[in-house]
């Protein structure tokens, strides 16, 4: 059997709640949340950037090769030239 949830239902955003938003309070809360983030080290950032670049190049070459093969197949068998 399902147990009743202890979580509160989400609040609906109404015109009244939108009028209560204060820009200064919003940015204070945003800054407080940003301080809680665990940021990666410089070495980890460089390593992961390298991984993204290598994978992007590999996918680019694979898609380029597939495009070339399919276009040559189309030209030879469909267009007959």
Q: Domain limits of the chain?
A: 43-81
Residue pair 72/64 in contact by the 8 Å Cβ criterion: no
- The pLDDT tens digits for 25-72 are 889 989 999 999 999 999 999 999 999 999 999 999 999 999 999 999
**Residue 2: its pLDDT value, please?**
55
Alpha-carbon distance 57 to 63, whole Å?
A: 10
DSSP string, 24-51: HHHHHHHHHHHHHS-PPPHHHHHHHHHH
- The pLDDT tens digits for 2-26 are 565 667 777 777 777 666 767 888 8
Q: Check whether 1 has a pLDDT greater than 60.
A: no
* Long-range CB contacts for residues 28-32, cutoff 8 Å, separation at least 24: none
Can you give the pTM of this predicted structure?
Answer: 0.55
**Residue 25: its pLDDT value, please?**
85
Q: If we measure between CA atoms, which residue out of 58, 77, 54 comes closest to residue 66?
A: 58
Alpha-carbon distance 14 to 32, whole Å?
A: 25
């Amino acid at each position: 059997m399902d147990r009743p949830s202890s979580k509160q239902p989400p609040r609906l955003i109404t015109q009244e709640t939108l009028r209560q938003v204060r820009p200064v309070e919003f940015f204070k809360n945003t800054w407080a949340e940003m301080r809680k983030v665990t940021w990666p080290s410089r070495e980890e950032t460089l390593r992961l950037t390298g991984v993204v670049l290598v994978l992007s190049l590999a996918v680019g070459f694979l898609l380029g090769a597939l495009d070339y093969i399919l276009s040559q197949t189309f030209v030879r068998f469909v267009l007959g030239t």
